[in-house]
Every structure is written in C-alpha cells, then in structure tokens.
Chain A
Amino acid sequence: MKTDLTPGGLSPRARVALYGLLCVLAVPFVFPTWWMVTSSVKPISDIFAFPPELIPSRFDWSTYSEVFRLQPFAQQYWNSCYIAAIVTAGTMAVSSMAGYAFARIRFPGANLIFMVVLLGLLIPSEVTIVPLFQMFLKWGLVNTHWPLILVPIFGAPSVFATFVMRQFFIALPVELEEAARVDGLSRFGIFWQIALPLAKPALAAVAIFTFLHSWNLYLEPIVFLTTPANFTLPQALTQYVDVYQGPMWNTQLAAATLTALPVLVVFIFAQRQFIEGLAHTGLKG
C-alpha cells in the first residue's frame, strides 16, 4: 500500500520484466542498422551465410571503393547535402516570416490568405506531381535541382512549417512587443530582434523536420532527375544493381551505411534537442 502510493514506484520484479520487454522491443529498431553496417563489410559469399553472422568472420572493405567506382557517389552525396541545406534554410526563412505575420500582424485578408495557405496541408505533393513535372519541363528545369529546392521551400511542404511557427508566435506575450514598440523598434525590428530569438526551439523543430523531409525525398528525384551525376542519395542507393537488375547487396548496403550513419551519429549526440524539440513545439496542437 505504501509502495503503491509513490508514483512510478516499481517492484524489483516488475523492473526486470520491464527491462526485458524494452530490450525485446528494441530489436527491430536496432538490428537493421547493425545488420546494414556489418553486412556492408562482408564478402559477397558470406552475405547470405547460414547461420547468420552477427559479427563478420571475414572482412571485405572493397565494397566501399565499389560504391564510388560504380557511380559518382561523392557528387550524389554533395547533391543531397546542399539541397537539404538550402531547403532547410529557405523553409526556416519563409515559414518564420509567414508564421509571424499570421500570428502577430493584423492586415486585411489575413484570415482568408491563411485558409488558402492551409490548403497546402490538404494537398499532398503527390497530387500535383504531374502538372509540376509539366511546368518544370516547360521552364527547362527538368534534370536540374530546382524543382527539389523551389517546391519544398515555397510550396505545400513548407505549409506545415508555417503552421508550427504560427502556433509558436501566437503564444508569445503581447507585452513583449508593446515594450519593444515603445522603445521605438519597427515591426521588422521586433520580428528580428525579439520574436525570432525566442523562437529557437520552434525553428529547431522546423529545421529537423525539413532536413529529414528533403533528405528522404524519393518520388520527386526519380520523376525530375535523369542523369546519375544529378541524382540524390535515396535515388542513387537503388542504382547498385547487376545487369539483371538484381541488387548488389553488399555494395548497396555500404552506400546505405554511408548515407545513414552520419545523420544517426549527429542524432545520438543531440538526441535530447531532437526529441524534446519535436515534442514541445506547435506539434502538440
């Protein structure tokens, strides 16, 4: 009875059971990454070995040079990185300005315009992929990175970011702005010097979301890009196939490792900021 009243107080047996359950549940989350990394350094003959080798018995590092020999992988890596960086910075700028205006500035038509912008949440980019392809074809921008940069920054994918920023700015106390006004700050000054520095958590969440979205984009690259030197990583990963279109497993897994591991390492070091940033923003609705 007494132990029951302490919140979260668990008996030692319950504790052990809980750890056991957590460990079992962790397997499908951890094992694929482990299997990816270890299989990428196994010689091809060991890749489907039975019993499965949790730790490689023989190493074949040539898979990693194959990754770069078969495709302009360094170029593709750079493509993904710079596109994601521009899209993230651009989305932060567009969404923080729009979000601030919708939350804090009264201007005629604001509500109507907000409803129009929110339509972007209702229309997945897959719905408009056919006309977008035709538009960029007409502008001569197919097989360039422009569609992968412009559409996410200004189009439907950024609306969610604008919504998150708006939810954040709405909660800012009015007194802050009034005080700044009295001090003679212009509207832009208030936004730049007062509101934006306070919005760091929301901006961080927007940045993480946007980066991952751009980093994971797959349908748009395969629709818009045609030459391997222009490919982005997700698209490049699927190109490690033999003449029969069968995957070259260990090379593919080496490329996948090079793609996944750096982001994973950054995440592990900054996991608190990642998780709490995402949880404690406008997402809570």
Chain B
Amino acid sequence: MPTATLTADRSRKRPFWTMERRDSLVGYLFIAPQLVGIVLFVLIPLGLVVWYSLHEWNVLAGTFRFVGDANYQKLAADPALGEVLGATAIFSAGLVVFNLSLALLLAILVNQKLRGITVFRTIFFSPVVVSLVAWTIVWGFLLQAHGGINGVLQLIGITGPNWLRSPPTAMASVIVVQVFKNVGLNMVLFLAALQGVPRELYEAARVDGASRFTQFHAITVPLISPTILLTMIITIVGSLQVFAQIAVLTQGGPGMSTTVLVYYLYQQAFQFHRFGYGATISILLFLIVAVLTFAQWQMRKRIVFYEN
C-alpha cells in the first residue's frame, strides 16, 4: 500500500514498518509454531504414509523395495479386511447410536429443576476425568466370568455369559464401556444447547396444547440440531480412533470380532513389523475419516434446521 499515510503525522519519511506490516509480521510469528508443527508432524508424515504404502517394507527382514500398488491389492484381497471393516462399522454405529441417545436422555434429565440435580450432573460426567486405561481395567475386571457383574446377576438367579470371550457380548461390552466413559461430554454439550432454547417457545406450545412429545419433536430437536450434528461428528471420528479399550479388554478377539481398523493397523505395523502394509491401512483409515466428515457436513444442509 504505497498510499498508506497512517504514520505521516509521526515522521515525514514513511517508515518501512507500517502498522499493516508490523501486524502481518506478528501474525506470521503467532501462527509459526502451529504451522511448522502441522507441516512437520502432519503433512510430511502424510506424504510419507503414501510413500511407504508403495513399498514392501519388513524391518525384521531388512527389506524396503518399491512395489507399486501391490500393498493396495494385498489389502483389497486380505481375507481379514471384511471382518475388520465389519467390526469397525458395528463398533462405530453402536457407539454413536447408544452414546447420542443416552447423552440426550441424560441432558434432558439433568436439565430438570430438581434439588441436588448438579450431583447427578457431576456423577454422569465423572468418568470423563477418570484415566481411560484405569476405567477400562475396572470394567475388564467387572466383566470377568466370575466378576462383579455376573456375581450380581447370579444373586437374582441369572448365569451371566463370559462377556469378553464370545463375539457378540465382547463387541457389546467394548461399546458400553466406551459409552459410559465419554457420554458425559456429549451430555454437557446437549445440556448447553437445551438451555439455549428460548423458554417462551415451550410456553407458547403449551398454551396451544402441544404434548411434551410434540414439544420435544417440534421445538427441541430442530433447535438443538446443530449440536446433534457436532456431537455426531466428534463421536464418529473419535470412535474410529478407539484403541486402548480394545487393547486392554479383548486384544481384538475373540477371533477377530473386535479388531477395529486402528487395532489392525497397530498389529500389522508394530507387532508384525509390516510397515508398508501398515501404511496402506493408514491410508484406508484416512479415507474413511475424510469421507465420513465430508458426508456429515453435507448432511448439515438436510438435517440442521437452524443455525445461529
């Protein structure tokens, strides 16, 4: 901007460091740590993942040679892939449905005007601050064949299954443990959204004779739909990253029934030292996250009725 005269009153010579220039410099300095970090720890690794995926690389055998799309063909033909994707889909779908509906229910409950309601709010949120692995270990202990849960069931005459040793209950257990760990976070987001709904709308609806269900359906849901979408995205992307729970509770078993994509990636790369193949699985994971995120932002146009 050669015509800038902002500093003209200070000195007759126009200094090089105009306010805009100084501002820009500060701006670049402020974002530099983050930008360098993203380049170094995200973009370059992402490029390397692609590069590795084109190589046959076994650390134990000391091999690293270019193989083109061989890893991708291997992945497509991998008999385990179907099972892994199936387990990932069941886990993510189960987690999102159970987590969001429970979170909404809890948010509605703790939004009631009741004495001592903040105690319950604290209780429902508390697992969020408990160390993830500690939480998982306790649940693993509770879910043993002779553990606390089956002990309680036996008191009322039910012989509980060996939860972590049969495929359907193992998957259900992993989902439930994860839901109770983190549902408090979504509850709090829903609670903030519920409190943002103007009370007059409910009063008007009540005057018009709308039932509680109609009020929920016609007022609450549309008004909190941006939060529903946000929590859905956070929860789905988070569900694809689940690792510690699987590693501690089931190690991907029984069989491969709880081997989700990240766990499979860890096994291939760091247990079997197949880094090239591991990188190929990483790309698949990246694509799934990217497609899901994109799809959900597209969905926003359809399901979100209101945005401030």
**Interface hub of B34, B142, B146 (most chain A Cβ within 10 A):** B34
B262 lies within 8 A of chain A by Cβ = yes
- Is A120 within 8 A of B148, CB to CB? no
Would you give the shortest CB distance from A244 to chain B, in whole angstroms?
15
Contact partner of A33 (CB less than 8 A), chosen from B31, B52, B130, is B130
Instruction: List which B84-117 residues lie within 8 A (CB) of chain A.
Output: 106, 109, 112-114
Query: Among the interface residues B31, B43, B148, B269, which one has the most CB atoms of the partner chain A within 10 A?
Result: B31
Measured between beta carbons, the chain A residues less than 8 angstroms from B184 are 29
Does any Cβ of A come within 8 Å of B54's Cβ?
A: no
B28 touches A107 (CB 8 A): yes
Instruction: State whether B202 touches A7 (Cβ < 8 A).
Output: yes
Shortest A80–chain B CB gap in Å is 9
Q: Which of B35, B147, B240 contacts A117 (CB 8 A)?
A: B35
Cα-based distance from A35 to B125 in the complex (angstroms): 18
Contact A26 B269 (CB under 8 A): no
A-B contact count (CB 8 A): 311
**Measured CA separation A212–B238 after assembly (Å):** 15
Report if A197 contacts B (CB, 8 A).
no
The 5 closest A-B pairs by CB, nearest first: A154-B37, A155-B41, A131-B48, A128-B45, A101-B30
Does A268 contact B122, Cβ atoms closer than 8 Å?
A: yes
Cross-chain contact of B133 among A124, A158, A216, A257 (Cβ < 8 A): A216
User: What separation, in Å, do the CA atoms of A271 and B184 have in the docked complex?
Assistant: 12
Looking at the assembled complex, report how far the CB atom of A65 sits from the nearest CB atom of chain B, in whole angstroms.
Answer: 19
On whether the beta carbons of A252 and B137 are closer than 8 Å, the reply is: yes
Contact assessment for A278 and B185 in the assembled complex, using a CB-CB cutoff below 8 Å? yes
Please give the distance in Å from B235's CB to the nearest CB on chain A.
Answer: 13
A117 to B39, CA, bound (A): 9
User: Which residues of chain B are within 8 angstroms of A182 by Cβ–Cβ distance?
Assistant: none
User: Are B131 and A155 within 8 A (Cβ)?
Assistant: no
Residues of the B chain whose Cβ atoms lie less than 8 Å from the Cβ of A101 = 26-28, 30-31
Among A101, A117, A134, A191, the most chain B Cβ lie within 10 Å of the Cβ of: A101
Q: Is the CB of A126 within 8 A of B241?
A: yes
Name the interface residues of B3-23: CB closer than 8 Å to any CB of A: 22-23
Q: Do A32 and B139 touch across chains, with their CB atoms under 8 A apart? A: yes
In the complex formed, the residue of B with least CB distance to A236 is B133
Taking the nearest CB of chain A, how far is it from the CB of B120, in angstroms? 5
Closest beta carbon of chain B to A41's beta carbon, Å: 14
A123 touches B203 (CB 8 A): no
Q: Which residues of A contact B141 (CB under 8 A)?
A: 35-36, 39, 247, 249, 252-253
- Contact string against B for A residues 106-147, beta-carbon threshold 8 Å, 1 for contact and 0 otherwise: 111010010011011011101111111111000000000000
Q: Is the pair A18, B244 in contact by a Cβ cutoff of 8 Å? A: no
Chain B residues, CB < 8 A from A252: 137, 141
Q: Is B218 an interface position by the 8 A CB rule?
A: no
5 A-B pairs with C-beta separation under 8 A: A98-B30, A105-B23, A127-B49, A158-B37, A222-B247
Tell me the smallest distance from the CB of B104 to a CB of chain A, in Å: 13
Instruction: Check B199 for interface membership: any CB of A closer than 8 A.
Output: yes
Q: How large is the interface on B (under 10, 10 to 19, 20 to 34, 35 or more residues)?
A: 35 or more
Give B contacts to A, CB under 8 Å. 22-24, 26-28, 30-31, 33-38, 40-46, 48-49, 52, 106, 109, 112-114, 118, 120-135, 137-142, 144, 146-148, 151-152, 154-155, 176, 180, 184-185, 188-189, 191-193, 196, 199, 202-203, 206, 226-227, 230, 237, 240-241, 243-244, 247-248, 262, 265-266, 269-270, 275, 278-279, 282-283, 285-286, 289-290, 293
The yes or no answer to A263 lying at the interface (CB within 8 A) is yes
A:222-267 near B, CB below 8 Å? 222-223, 233-235, 237-238, 247, 249, 252-253, 256-257, 259-260, 263-264, 266-267
A30 interfacial by beta-carbon distance below 8 Å: yes
Contact status B189-A237, CB under 8 Å: no
Residues of A within 8 A of B106 (CB): 25
- B290 to chain A: which residues have CB within 8 Å? 122
Give, as a whole number of angstroms, the nearest-CB distance from B146 to chain A: 4
**Do A119 and B42 touch (CB < 8 A)?**
yes
Evaluate contact between A188 and B41: CB separation under 8 angstroms.
no
Verify if A73 is at the interface (C-beta below 8 Å from B).
no
Whether B23 contacts A187 by the Cβ 8 Å rule is: yes
Contact B34 A123 (CB under 8 A): no
Inter-chain CA distance A247–B155, complex, in Å, is 26
| Nearest B residue (CB) for A160 | B234
B113 lies within 8 A of A212 (CB): no
Find out whether the CB atom of B37 lies under 8 angstroms from the CB atom of A122: no
